[in-house]
Structure 1
Amino acid sequence: MVKIEAVIRPQRLDEVKASLDDFGVTGMTVTEVRGAGKQKGYTQHYRGAEYTVNLIQKLKLEIVVNEADVDRIVEAIASAARTGEIGDGKIFLSPVLDAIRIRTGERGGEAV
């Protein structure tokens, strides 16, 4: 099993979810996060004062999938989240040693 963590633009969530639905991915965790990367933030004006926002709002998706599906799901996320602009996000992959469904006690791929 592999854990896919994708940091994406909040406005691309619906497209990413629709793309994952096409692959039968039903379980995911979505967390609102803030971060900084190459985008380096932006400058805003509020009530006549200028200030810099250097931590950009993003969403982090966490999905655990079987190894056989990883490449297809990563490509689905990347293509749905891509705008071509700086700040589209990143995808990280990590091995998952085991998973346990608390309700039934199922382990491994059955628990996912």
Structure 2
Amino acid sequence: MEEILKQILGKLDNVDKRLDSMDQRLDSMDQRFDSMNTKIDKLEIKLTDRIDGLEKRVDSRFNKLESKVDAVYEKTAELLEFKTEAIQRLDIVESHNK
């Protein structure tokens, strides 16, 4: 009977050692998981900052482009007005020459 108890205690010790080993592995995995989450959070912050920076650059370029397009429209309007005046003057000159 004593021998059986020793075997059972030996098996229980073995199970305890294995459980301790598993606990250590779980702790290690928890630390790795926490480390990965920290890295992900840092990357998320970096990406958010980069996206914000890119959005600002795009907005700036869009505003510049928009002002250039506005300038083209203004110049086109001026040229059309000049063309109209030139045609009117040519018509006047032509009518005086007849």
Decide which structure has the larger Cα Rg and report it: 2
Q: Which has the higher contact order (CA 8 A, sep 6+)?
A: 1
Higher strand share: 1
TM bin, normalised by shorter chain, reads under 0.3
* TM-score normalised per structure 2: 0.17
**Between structures 1 and 2, the one with greater helix share:** 2
